[in-house]
Amino acid sequence: MATLQPVVTRVRHDTRRRRLTVLATTRVTPNMLRLRLGGPYLAGFVSPSPSDHVKLFVPDGTGGQIMRDYTPRQFDVTAGWLEIDFALHDAGPATQWALQARVGDVAEIGGPRGSQVIGGPIAEWLLIGDETALPSIARRIEELSAGTPVTSIVAIPQDADRQTIVTAADHWPLWVSRSDPSDPMPLLAAFADVPLHPAQFVWIAAEAGVARALRDAALARGVPADWLRAAGYWVAGTADASVKDL
C-alpha cells in the first residue's frame, strides 16, 4: 500500500504592478508594524497560500526604487484592501519607509508571481519561525479548518511582541524570547521539547542559518523530507537576500 504524502502544488499567476495608497498604519506590537494598503488597482489580486510574497517597491533615497518581499498578511479584494506586516528588527529602506508612511502615501506592489499550496492528508501542523515569518505563520493558523491541530514556535525580541491569533483551529502557541535572531539555539531548544506525530507537516522560516539548523534537527528526529519545508527569509549580514528552499 502506498504511503500517503502531502501534496505540494505550485501555481503561477499573471503579475502586474499595482499602485495603492496607505489606508491605515497600526503598531501591532512594539516590533511589528502593519500597513493597510488599498485602491481600485487591487482588483484581481490573488494570494492562495499563506507563504506567498509580494514585491513592495519603495524609494531608495537616491531617486530610484528598491524592492523587498513581504507576505500578504490579510486581504479583502472586494473591500479593496491588503495588509502587510513589517518586522522592525530590520533597519533597511523598506522598513524605514513603512515607519514614515502616512495615510494617503502611495505604495506599489507586484505579484505574487507564484504560490506553493500545501495540502493533502495533513492531520496537523508544526510551524516554526522568527518574527519575519510570523505574518505567514499567523495567516496559515487563521486559515486552517476548524479543529485542525497546529503548534507554532515563534522567536520574538520580547514578550510584548506576542500576538493573539484568532482561529477555529486547535492552536498551541509557543513564544521564545531571544536577543540574537541569527542564533538557532532558542528555537532548537523549544523544538526539542515539542512532540512529533505522524501526518504532521513541519514548516520552517527564519534567518537562513537558523532555518537550516531547524531543518536538520527535524530530519534527525525522523520527520520525512516530504513532510518538511524550510526557507531562509533573510540572511544575516546580507541585505535583500533569502534562500527559498533549504
5-49: pLDDT as tens digits: 999 999 999 889 999 999 999 999 999 999 999 999 999 999 999
> What is the structure's pLDDT at 1?
35
Domain with CATH 3.40.50.80 in the chain: 122-234
* pLDDT attached to residue 15: 86
Q: Please say whether the beta carbons of 108 and 20 come within 8 A.
A: yes
Question: Class assignment of domain 11-114?
Answer: mainly beta
How does pLDDT run across 222-241, given as a tens digit for each residue?
Answer: 999 999 999 999 888 787 77
pLDDT in tens, 58-67: 887 788 888 9
pLDDT confidence bin for 91, thresholds 50/70/90: low
The confidence score (pLDDT) of residue 242 equals: 80
Predicted TM-score of the model (pTM): 0.95
110-121 mean pLDDT: 95
Confidence band of 243 (pLDDT split at 50, 70, 90)? confident
Mean pLDDT of 91-107: 91
* pLDDT tens sequence across 183-212: 999 999 999 999 999 999 999 999 999 999
pLDDT in tens, 131-172: 999 999 999 999 999 999 999 999 999 999 999 999 999 999
Q: Where in the chain is the domain with CATH 2.40.30.10?
A: 11-114
Higher-confidence position of 90 and 32: 32
pLDDT, residue 177, reads 93
Q: Check pLDDT > 70 for residue 124.
A: yes
pLDDT tier, 2 (very low <50, low <70, confident <90, very high otherwise): very low
Fold of 122-234: Rossmann fold (3.40.50)
